[in-house]
Structure 1
Amino acid sequence: MKRWAKWMVAAMLGMMATLAWAGDVLLGGGDLIKVSVYGSPDLGLETRVAEDGSITFPLVGNVKVGGLPVSAAEQKLAGLLESGGFLRKAQVNIVVTALQSQQVSVLGQVNRPGRYPLDTRRTVLDMLAQAGGIGAEGSDVVVLIRKQGDKPTKQNIDILGMMQSGNVAPDVTVESNDIIFVERAPRFYVYGEVQRPGTFRLERSMTVLQALAAGGGLTQRGTERHIRIKRRDADGKLQVIDAKQDDLLKADDVVYISESWF
């Protein structure tokens, strides 16, 4: 099969999956929907689902659609029109024009934090893209918080690892009321005899030598022979470590460059 033909097939499958998902969206309070009935334009209306999940529909009155997929709500309205003797073989179509009940929160170090509607099947990467991507201060690992029954669950998703490996299996599909949180990236500190002492982003597998480079290198009085790392252990106790250039840094390490006496 030619490449363009494969692309067409993939696009059609993706469109079919999106349409299928649209029919499976659960309606809820606050959703704005547009209802039309084939052959009966006078029965069409645009309305908002009440907080109790109900709508008022012509001829049949109050109808509970909250908690139903769009396709099931269509069938329910059609069935009520038929059972009430108003129409034969009623065909009802519902379009969700504003989805308020199914939303995902994207918070923390993203460019546009907020709540975003889950109007189609979306993954963590999709939601991060909607939020403008991870900000300059954001971590490479994001947290997905999901409520399972009464107990929240927490899952760490390595965004950079997915990009480097090409394995997108950890890019899970999000669900309504999920929270995606991007923490601030880990930091380390450099002070002493360096050109630019300060706080810097800790990259993966970063060495002491790379930390010196981030600090602009040594001053004329600095020496690489007496580098120390101040690090807190698991119990919070401060340790002072004699460091080598190829030692790996950890989050919140403080790298001190001593003055040369020779």
Structure 2
Amino acid sequence: MLGRPPSCASQGQGELRRDLAEALAEAGRALPAGRLARLGATPEVHHGLRDPQAPATGQKPSAPQAPVTAQKPPPAPGNARKPAPQPATGQSRGAAGQTAAGTQPTVPPSYRIGPQDTLLITVVDEAELTGKFSVDADGMVSYPYLNRVRAAGMTATELQNYLVTQLKAGYLRNPQVRVDVDTFRSQSVMIVGEVRQAGRIPMTGPTMTLLEALVLAGSPTAKASNEIIVRHRGVDGKDPEEIRVNRRDLELGKSDVVLRDGDLINVPTAASFFVDGMVRNPGTYTLEPGTTVQQAIALAGGLTDRGSNRGITATRLVNGKTTEVPLRLDDKVQANDVIRIRQRFF
């Protein structure tokens, strides 16, 4: 038996329901969730259809997340990279070389090169001809292209001009040369006496002071005198010169002496004297230049309760003979004096 065909009314209702569902779906996609909530609707599409961008039912929409970007860790303290130095502008290599070579040597113009000195020779743009060269015992220097060159007895400027002339003769078109003395070993002074390392001391430069020489000699010993004698040798027919320096003034920077090649420095043993008799601390004391009898008594601690400042005598060597001489308080004490302080009677 054939079924009854659907009526026209049923077909119209089905089409109406489909149109309504599509309209609701379009409305759900077009309106925001808050607007739908106020209208009493949900973002879900009716009749089983759902907005793919809407959150699931019963879940709150999460806040939008900011995009995550990779961050570099901060540099460790003290390891910050320093900017690379920028090369100087406005100077070419050749110009800089000519400036360095064109200046005069730093050694005094009168200094004469000697054996054992070390020379610093610079030729612009010529690495083979630039370097340190020692002056041999015979005063000669072994130099590229020129073989053996005599340097002893010449100043740095004279040797510089000589090298320019020789290199220009057949090797370089316009040589830029500079000659300096790197180490000074040809000049020295002699130090003797009460120092820790007596002997010959090479000068550290074209000039050297007395204080520098004493430091290189290990400083004076405890027995050293406070007076140092410097003897300059005669130069150009002049007589030798002797200079006496107070060591305390030297150490305090109040005085100093510029040494010359061949100078003799004598640090003598300190002279002494002896105080005996009615003083608090009898004994031997270092004699300072100009020490008086009264100062000698003070060094010995002063007089005792029974000591007298009258009738003071000293046993002294006079003309090779031991003699007892009377002393006053303002008399000068001499080396090896034996001073006796008498006892007062009342």
Match of 1:182 in 2: 267
Measured at CA, do residues 159 and 71 of structure 1 come closer, stay the same or move farther in structure 2, by a change above 3 Å?
farther
After TM superposition, the structure 1 = structure 2 runs for residues 1-262 of structure 1, keeping only pairs within 5 Å, are: 19-21=106-108, 23-83=109-169, 85-110=170-195, 113=198, 115-124=201-210, 127-128=213-214, 137-148=223-234, 153-159=240-246, 173-233=258-318, 235-260=319-344
Indicate if the aligned counterparts of 1:55 and 1:62 stay in contact, CA closer than 8 A. yes
Measured at CA, do residues 104 and 142 of structure 1 come closer, stay the same or move farther in structure 2, by a change above 3 Å?
same
CA distance in 2, matches of 1:181, 1:72: 36
CA distance in 1, matches of 2:247, 2:131: 47
Indicate if the aligned counterparts of 2:107 and 2:180 stay in contact, CA closer than 8 A. no
Measured at CA, do residues 98 and 20 of structure 1 come closer, stay the same or move farther in structure 2, by a change above 3 Å?
closer
SS in 2 for 1:189: strand
Indicate if the aligned counterparts of 1:35 and 1:94 stay in contact, CA closer than 8 A. yes
Indicate if the aligned counterparts of 1:145 and 1:152 stay in contact, CA closer than 8 A. no
CA distance in 2, matches of 1:191, 1:140: 24
SS in 2 for 1:74: helix
Q: Which has the higher contact order (CA 8 A, sep 6+)?
A: 1
Indicate if the aligned counterparts of 2:107 and 2:156 stay in contact, CA closer than 8 A. no
Indicate if the aligned counterparts of 2:183 and 2:204 stay in contact, CA closer than 8 A. no
Indicate if the aligned counterparts of 1:106 and 1:116 stay in contact, CA closer than 8 A. no
Bigger radius of gyration: 2
Indicate if the aligned counterparts of 1:208 and 1:244 stay in contact, CA closer than 8 A. yes
Match of 1:4 in 2: none
Indicate if the aligned counterparts of 1:194 and 1:217 stay in contact, CA closer than 8 A. yes
In the comparison of the two structures, how many residue pairs are matched?
238
What amino acid does structure 2 have at the position aligned with 1:27? I
CA distance in 2, matches of 1:186, 1:33: 45
Identity %: 30
CA distance in 2, matches of 1:116, 1:200: 35
What amino acid does structure 1 have at the position aligned with 2:297? L
CA distance in 1, matches of 2:217, 2:121: 30
SS in 1 for 2:228: strand
CA RMSD across the alignment = 3.3
Q: Which has the higher strand share?
A: 1
CA distance in 1, matches of 2:258, 2:122: 31
CA distance in 2, matches of 1:216, 1:98: 52
Indicate if the aligned counterparts of 1:223 and 1:258 stay in contact, CA closer than 8 A. yes
Measured at CA, do residues 125 and 255 of structure 1 come closer, stay the same or move farther in structure 2, by a change above 3 Å?
same
Q: What TM-score comes out, normalization by structure 2 length?
A: 0.58
Moved more, 26-35 or 154-163: 154-163
The runs of 5 or more residues in structure 1 that have no matched partner are: 1-17
Match of 1:3 in 2: none
How far 1:88 sits from its partner (Å)?
Answer: 2.6
